Structure formats: C-alpha cells, structure tokens
Amino acid sequence: MKVESIRAWAFDAPLTRPYAIAGGQWDSVQMAFVELRTDSGLVGYGMASPAEEVTGESRAASLAALQDCGWLVGEDPVDEARLAQIEERIVGPAARAAVDMALCDLVGKSAKLPFVERVGRKRAALSTSVTIGVKPVVETVAEAREYVNRGFAALKVKVGESLGEDLDRLTFLRLEFGGAVSLRADANQGYDEKQFTEFVQASASLGLELIEQPLPPGHEGFLRSFPPDVQRILCADESVHDEAALARLVADGCPYGVVNVKLQKCGGPRSAMRLARLCHQHGISVMWGCNDESVLGIAAALHAAFACDATRFLDLDGSLDLARDAFSGGFTIREGRMSTLLRAGLGCELEHA
C-alpha cells in the first residue's frame, strides 16, 4: 500500500458556548485537516488545532506544513519508519499530530481493526471531565447543573484570574453537589507563588481531585516545597510538552503527580503514547487532554489513552461545544463515560470537506 495523494484544508468552527481562561477568551476554533489517500482505496484523516499561546504554532503554520507533505506520496503509510520522518521533517507539533493521526487511521483500517485494538487495548471506557470557563458564580453553578443533568460527574473549573472569585466558585460547586462530582481546578499558569500558597490552604477542605498548571513553567522548585499529598494532585500541562521536557523535570525531582498529555502539544497519538509510557515508568499518572478540536482529534486521543497503562483521567470535551464539525463518529459518551467505536481506524467519517 502506498500513499497516492495528500490534501489539506482549513476549517473554522464557532463555539456554541464561548469561554474564558486566565489570559484569554475564545468564541471559535481554527483547525486544519489532512487526508491521505492510498492506492488501495483506504483513506486516513488527521487534524491540527494548534494553541499558539502554548507551542507558538498558528493555524496558518500548521496548514502550510501539511501542504508541504508531498514527500509522503509513494510511501508505505503503515511503515513505522514514517514516524522518524514526521518528527524530522514537519515543523510544529499540531501539524505532526495531524499527519500521525492520518497514519494511525490507516494503520487501523489496513488491519480492519480500531487503532487501539491494533496497538493493544488497556481500557474499555473511562469518564471524562467537562470544562467550565472563567465566569461569575451564578453562571458557573448553572452551567455545572446542566452538565451534571447530562450525566457528567467530573467538572474542570478554569481559575487563575481572581483568587477570591476562584475559591467562591469552587466552594459553591462543592456545596451544590457535595461528593457527587469530582472537582478539578485549572489555573492555566494564572497564579503567582503567594496566590497559589493561599489557594492550596483555602481549598484544602474542598477535596479537589486535580490542580492543573497553577504556575508558569520554571516554578517547579517552589512546587517541590509542598507536601506529598498536594504534589500528588498537581497536574502539569504547559510544563510538559514532550518526553524531553518530562525527562528534565524528573531529573530535577518532578513535583507533579499527573501530566496532561495532549496530541496537539506533543505531536500525535504515537508520540503521546511514548510520553505516557515514560510517565508510567516514573510513577506519574496521565490525564489525556485536548484543545477545542474536532471529534477526529478527540477520537485519536481516546484510542491512545486506552492503549496506555498510565491513563487515569480524561479531559476530552474539546468537541462538545463546536457549532459544526468536519467529522462525525469517533466515540460515544454515556453518563459521562467515553468509549471508542467498533470501527476500523479512528472510527470517524468525513462530513464537511
């Protein structure tokens, strides 16, 4: 089997529910898609949804990199040697993620299996959190009620803009739902060291499941001053992009008990799986996260997640608020629990080209 043609295109999707985080707000998503068509009639799809503020990669850069992948024509897409070529020749992790997704899609389709079955399934289903952006207490609780009524039992709350308001929102959520929901707080690097110390002290009674990236990268020495029960629930996002970043942290003494692994951040399903394996070797749990992105990207992350021993948490809600999507299928969500479909490859179907 050989790659016969490559096509890349841009796709914009408004959000049905605009949201804010510490340092920014969004009401739409700019994505890029790639299609690898083979001489055997199989077609593989991948997508890029870069976060320029995290990796420095724009959608325009992702699209240009995908359009420059003519070197894949004539290559065997299921040859593992393609992985090295992707990492050497494609600039930008989101663009690399798109191509690797398309290749993983073809790996599964050529074997007539879901990709996760082809590489070895470790999990069948897991609950995902859903994210509530920075907003007033009343709106936060109202949105949370909507999600809980839909069956979700894990809420990730964006914090980091105002310490007092952050604590109020989390406190009211705990009062509203008691122990029926898990609460995760994501500061997106929004606190300074003094604020975070106050946050830890004031939130101790709230039973937070995770505290994600409270400080910018470079403050890991300060985080190591917290006791083990706090470090255990600290989750790295911007501090860990790939295996090299994790290796550096581990060498210095990693203060994070959990790492948020995102395909768009580290370069695709297979590089993400390598990172997850490294986490497992060092006793670090993995939460699989996402940007706002197509069900295609979420499905790819889910397949990778279910193939890894370190997987403990999912935060794969990035497609739920898209007003339109280029793809359908990929997975099911029932009472907040996600499962892959019994379809070959990543299990998605093209809807809008």
Q: Give the domain CATH number at 153.
A: 3.20.20.120
Domain's final residue, options 112, 142, 175: 112
Task: Provide the pairing of β-strand 24-38 with 43-48.
Answer: antiparallel
Assess whether 156 and 268 both reside in one domain.
yes
Assess whether 69 and 209 both reside in one domain.
no
What is the pLDDT, as a whole number, of residue 299?
Answer: 98
Q: How many domains does the chain have?
A: 2
How many whole angstroms separate alpha carbon 144 and alpha carbon 176?
9
- Cα 268 to chain centroid, rounded: 11
Assess whether 104 and 124 both reside in one domain.
no
How large is the C-alpha radius of gyration of the chain? 20
Assess whether 305 and 187 both reside in one domain.
yes
What is the pLDDT, as a whole number, of residue 338?
Answer: 98
What is the pLDDT, as a whole number, of residue 18?
Answer: 83
pLDDT over 90 at 155, yes or no:
yes
Assess whether 91 and 174 both reside in one domain.
no
Assess whether 107 and 126 both reside in one domain.
no
Range of the domain at 264: 118-350
Assess whether 201 and 325 both reside in one domain.
yes
For residue range 168-195, what is the model confidence (pLDDT) as tens digits? 999 999 999 999 999 999 999 999 999 9
What is the pLDDT, as a whole number, of residue 352?
Answer: 82
pLDDT over 90 at 86, yes or no:
no
Mean residue pLDDT of the chain comes to 96
For residue range 237-271, what is the model confidence (pLDDT) as tens digits? 999 999 999 999 999 999 999 999 999 999 999 99
Q: Which residues pair with 234 in a beta bridge?
A: 211
How many whole angstroms separate alpha carbon 66 and alpha carbon 98?
8
Average the pLDDT over 88-94 and give the result: 94
Average the pLDDT over 119-143 and give the result: 97
How many whole angstroms separate alpha carbon 209 and alpha carbon 233?
6
Would you tell me how many other CB atoms lie within 10 Å of the CB of residue 192? 14
How many whole angstroms separate alpha carbon 60 and alpha carbon 243?
26
Q: Which of 285, 305, 301, 282 is nearest to 293 (CA)?
A: 301
Which of the four pLDDT bands, split at 50, 70 and 90, describes residue 53?
Answer: confident
pTM attached to this predicted model: 0.96
Domain's final residue, options 97, 112, 127: 112
What is the pLDDT, as a whole number, of residue 322?
Answer: 96
Q: CATH number of the domain at 8, please.
A: 3.30.390.10
In whole angstroms, how far apart are CA 220 and each of 140, 190, 235, 238, 289? 30, 15, 12, 12, 21
Which of the four pLDDT bands, split at 50, 70 and 90, describes residue 47?
Answer: very high
Place of tokens 């122990």: 179
Assess whether 199 and 281 both reside in one domain.
yes
Assess whether 69 and 149 both reside in one domain.
no
pLDDT over 90 at 26, yes or no:
no
Assess whether 336 and 232 both reside in one domain.
yes
How many whole angstroms separate alpha carbon 300 and alpha carbon 105?
8
pLDDT over 80 at 24, yes or no:
no
Average the pLDDT over 215-236 and give the result: 97
Domain's final residue, options 63, 89, 112: 112
pLDDT over 90 at 25, yes or no:
no
Assess whether 223 and 282 both reside in one domain.
yes
The three-state secondary structure class of 37 is: strand
How many whole angstroms separate alpha carbon 229 and alpha carbon 319?
33
For residue range 269-304, what is the model confidence (pLDDT) as tens digits? 999 999 999 999 999 999 999 999 999 999 999 999
